[in-house]
A and B are shown apart, each in its own frame.
Chain A
Amino acid sequence: MADRIPSGTRDVLPDEMRELRAMTERVRAVFEAANYGEVYTPALEYERTHGQDEDGPHPAYRMFDEHGNVLILRTDMTVPIARLVATRFATAEPPLRFSYFAHAYRTVRPQRGHSREFLQAGVELIGSPTPEGTAEVLTVLCDALQAAGLESFRIGLGDVSLYPALLDAVGITPQTSERILEELVAGDFVGVERELGRLKLSASDQELLLRVSRIRGGPEVLEDLSGPLQQAGTGMKAVHELLPPRTAERIIFDFGLVRNLGYYTGAVFQVYDPAYGVPIGNGGRYDELLGRFGRPLPAVGFALNVERLHIALNAEARRA
């Protein structure tokens, strides 16, 4: 065992490290130019800081300090920065802008090449509500990807409150909604249809719910929305209208994008590249999280997985 490292971790050697460094430096320049000052926080946090978010990323690694406190390795930088804002910037005038390049730690699924330790590059914008804050962060995200050298990327933009609101509007109980949302999060549309089929819904409601979960595409999908969909469409439209053309053309509206982390409250986004089969990063609004630390402020941010970004860059180069 002495010569081995834990599964899901890896060594980085000089050639790769040079490429990674060059890429993150280009990204860092974009963050700096947009006034997102870089911060670093401890890899270790108290478990009680992280909280017990049901759907959030679960801390995989716990340890005790010499006083018996439970410590965790952070699962992302969003929660530490929320803590940082509430404690170190308790009276600072919002909006506050921070960026980071830091490792996060999560559990791996066996034999899947998942990383226990992975480098994230991201920003958090605290105290700027939607649509302005969301549009600003999306713009920084696209500029960072462009600066990294990625060409064909797209950003999926959804809203975590959209589908639950729709389920509520047609009179589905929270408990049943949860089951349907679980199928949707798992990407099991056969399961969504089965769960909806079990309910005594009108044919038009059932058709609507199934159709909405699959709506994704350019600005044309926001046209002609009616009823409960209109409000959700209005929110996305408002964000879209604030985007400069170079950012706007990258957006895919995605009504089925429901949630990936527990603390998201509104807009959520995901980064895709046609050359690579898995998302490269994600982000969203977390308007409730800061309140948990005693400084209620709306917030939005994103995190790019640096290693995946590098893989996507290489995959694009191979395709060209």
Chain B
Amino acid sequence: MPELRIAVPRGALFKDTLDLLDRLGLDTAEVRDNDRKLLFDHAGIITMRPSDVPTYVEAGAADLGITGKDVLSEQPERDVYELRDLGYGRCTLVVATVEGDDPVQDALRHLGVVRVATKYPKVATAHFLATGRQAEIVEVKGSVELAPLTGLAEAIVDLTATGTTLRENHLVVREEIAVCTARLIANPVADKLKASQIDRLLERIDAG
């Protein structure tokens, strides 16, 4: 059994994360070859949705985890340590609407409240609160782009890397909320009890 168990996110960060783990000397070949398996005990890797990573790490089911800052921002109450900004997986959390006149302004002037569809209800709520605008947050689970096209909401708060999906749906970025990259997180108890193993790993990450 390896000294540390690491929670690895499937999805957009998956490949870069496995490349990083390769550089750190972990054997990820089995993980790469296996789409359905979730637990790779001899490599010390477990794979899951990015938004589940903080859950496993907080409970100590994994010592370390890698996930996006967007996920961490949406789960601010998680009791995990954020150890490193890994730099890759760079995306931006944005407010976007349909092209043309800004429907957010219009809704706020005439209705006093703007409807915002998002997979990030906490981030969206905090952003509109901080900028002094009343917003009705509508949580959706997938394809947020659909909301402003169908009248469900005037705006969306979503993560964008290249902006392609937004453009294809004739949406434009109105505001940038935060730049998000991949982060290395740790269980606070593991960070104390496995300090030397974790510090050795951090040294290797910092060495690049």
Q: Which residue numbers of A lie inside 8 Å of B, CB to CB?
A: 109, 112, 154, 156, 187-191, 214, 216-217, 252, 254, 270, 272-274, 276-279
A-B CB contact pairs (8 Å), 7 listed: A187-B79, A188-B81, A189-B82, A190-B84, A273-B189, A277-B189, A278-B60
Whether B82 contacts A217 by the Cβ 8 Å rule is no
Closest Cβ of chain B to A139, distance in Å, is: 20
List the B side residues contacting A214 at CB < 8 Å. 199
List the B side residues contacting A112 at CB < 8 Å. 77
Q: Which residue numbers of B lie inside 8 Å of A, CB to CB?
A: 58-61, 77, 79-85, 183, 187-193, 195-196, 199
Closest Cβ of chain A to B34, distance in Å, is: 26
Having A272-B193, A279-B188, one finds 6 other A-B pairs with CB under 8 Å, namely A187-B79, A189-B83, A190-B82, A217-B196, A276-B60, A277-B189
Closest Cβ of chain A to B125, distance in Å, is: 14
List the A side residues contacting B85 at CB < 8 Å. 190
Q: Which residue of A lies closest to B76 (CB)?
A: A186
Interface-centre pick from B193, B196, B199 (highest chain A CB count, 10 A):
B193
List the A side residues contacting B196 at CB < 8 Å. 217
List the B side residues contacting A187 at CB < 8 Å. 79-82, 188
List the B side residues contacting A154 at CB < 8 Å. 192-193
List the B side residues contacting A279 at CB < 8 Å. 188-189
> Known: A190-B85, A190-B183. Is A278-B79 also a contact (CB below 8 A)?
yes
> Known: A277-B60, A277-B187. Is A254-B192 also a contact (CB below 8 A)?
yes
Which of B59, B82, B183 is the one whose CB lies under 8 Å from A277? B59
> Known: A188-B82, A278-B60. Is A216-B192 also a contact (CB below 8 A)?
yes
List the B side residues contacting A217 at CB < 8 Å. 195-196
Whether B192 contacts A276 by the Cβ 8 Å rule is no
Whether A277 contacts B199 by the Cβ 8 Å rule is no
- Pick the 3 closest A-B CB pairs, nearest first: A277-B60, A187-B81, A188-B82
Cα–Cα distance between A274 and B4 once the two chains are bound (Å)? 12
List the B side residues contacting A189 at CB < 8 Å. 81-84
Cα–Cα distance between A319 and B80 once the two chains are bound (Å)? 23
List the B side residues contacting A278 at CB < 8 Å. 58-60, 79, 188-189
Closest Cβ of chain B to A182, distance in Å, is: 12
Interface-centre pick from A252, A278, A279 (highest chain B CB count, 10 A):
A278
Closest Cβ of chain B to A66, distance in Å, is: 37
Cα–Cα distance between A162 and B192 once the two chains are bound (Å)? 18
